[in-house]
């Protein structure tokens, strides 16, 4: 008979060794990066949607992040540093998430079959989260890359030009749908997993959380599409002057220190 103290690959000595804590740690890092990204996304949607207030409001937010109101001069590179941090979080989060994807067609069909048979809503939600997460690999990449490499091209006209004449609007429709569904489901699953807002009746808590999740998703999708429509409108009107940056009326006489 084999000894119970034999070495099991990757685990240690059977019977004597503790199980590895790494799966739990990796799970925690995946949840943490997801939470930070979801909170970032809420902020991002509000900042970008300032275009719904006015061109000047969006310009002011942009220049704020470029340090213009602190240094009296714009440093778009400051935005690149933020983008680099967000990209790092995205890469870590995605790298850890692929551990949970079905790794071959057989696994996928088995999961899909179980999902259809069980009709368990939370399992179906997981499927959509995995699918939209996979889509985000592709649809988020062009956006974060252009933000990283051309942070100086953010502004009412600059963004409108990119969205319309630069043909980014189809990408943004897909990106918006993917990120809002993915983030909404992700936050809901985090709340269930870590017992946030838990009440005495777990079924009632889940129902409440689900309502909140859909309310947030609908809100951010509505805000996102209204914002996108505003950039499209500006982009169409500005197409004949493509490439000309926005300068607020108050600064048109003396655009000192503002980039371009
Ligand atoms: C720090 C990194 C980021 C910056 C500075 C940034 C900035 C912007 C800006 C300025 C726009 C307006 C359109 C444009 O100028 O092209 C925009 C739009 C958008 N961004 Fe980002 N973004 C960042 C990261 C992300 C990430 C990580 C996602 C999702 C994974 C995302 C999703 C979107 C979507 C969906 C739109 C379309 C606008 C809408 O419909 O509301 N962004 N972003």
Give pLDDT tens digits along the chain (260 positions): 344 445 555 454 555 567 888 888 999 999 999 999 999 999 999 999 999 999 999 999 999 999 999 999 999 999 999 999 999 999 999 999 888 888 888 888 888 888 888 888 888 898 999 999 999 999 999 999 999 999 999 999 999 999 999 999 999 999 999 999 999 999 999 999 888 888 889 889 999 999 999 999 999 999 999 999 999 999 999 999 999 999 999 998 755 555 54
Q: How far is the CA of 176 from the centre of ligand 1 (A)?
A: 9
Backbone angles phi, psi at 15, to 5 degrees: 90, -35
Backbone angles phi, psi at 119, to 5 degrees: 50, 45
Closest residue CA from atom 9 of ligand 1? 48
Given the candidates 3.40.50.850, 3.40.50.2000, 1.20.1300.10, 3.40.50.720, the CATH classification of the domain at 22-245 is 1.20.1300.10
pLDDT of residue 1: 38
Does 44 contact ligand 1 (Cβ within 6 A)?
A: yes
Q: How many CA atoms lie within 13 A of 68 on its CB side?
A: 17
Q: How far is the CA of 27 from the centre of ligand 1 (A)?
A: 27
Q: What are the beta bridge partners of residue 12?
A: 8
Q: How far is the CA of 71 from the centre of ligand 1 (A)?
A: 25
Distances (CA, A) of 50 to 4, 60, 236: 65, 9, 19
pTM of the predicted model as reported, rounded to 2 decimal places: 0.89
Angle formed by the axes of helices 77-97 and 121-149, nearest 10°: 150
Does 61 contact ligand 1 (Cβ within 6 A)?
A: no
Q: How many residues does the chain have?
A: 260
* Close Cβ partners of 106 (under 8 Å, ≥ 6 residues apart): none
């Amino acid at each position: 008979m084999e000894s119970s103290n034999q070495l099991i690959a990757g685990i240690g000595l059977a019977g004597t060794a503790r199980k590895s804590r790494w799966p739990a740690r990796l799970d925690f890092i995946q949840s943490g990066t997801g939470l930070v990204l979801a909170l970032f996304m809420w902020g991002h949607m509000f900042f970008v949607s300032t275009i719904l207030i006015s061109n000047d409001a969006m310009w002011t937010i942009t220049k704020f992040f470029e340090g213009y109101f602190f240094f009296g001069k714009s440093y778009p590179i400051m935005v690149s540093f933020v983008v680099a941090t967000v990209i790092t979080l995205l890469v870590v989060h995605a790298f850890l998430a692929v551990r949970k994807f079905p790794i071959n067609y057989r696994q996928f069909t088995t999961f899909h079959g179980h999902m259809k048979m069980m009709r368990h809503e939370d399992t179906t939600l997981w499927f959509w989260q995995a699918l939209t997460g996979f889509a985000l690999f592709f649809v988020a990449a062009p956006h974060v890359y252009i933000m990283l490499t051309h942070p100086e091209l953010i502004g009412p006209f600059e963004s409108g030009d990119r969205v319309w004449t630069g043909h980014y609007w189809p990408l943004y429709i897909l990106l918006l749908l993917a990120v809002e569904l993915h983030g909404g489901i992700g936050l809901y699953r985090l709340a269930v997993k870590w017992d946030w807002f838990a009440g005495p009746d777990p079924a009632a808590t889940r129902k409440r959380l689900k309502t909140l999740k859909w309310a947030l998703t609908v809100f951010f999708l509505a805000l996102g599409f209204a914002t996108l429509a505003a950039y499209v409108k500006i982009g169409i009107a500005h197409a004949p002057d493509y490439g000309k940056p926005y300068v607020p009326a108050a600064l048109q006489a003396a655009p000192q220190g503002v980039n371009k």
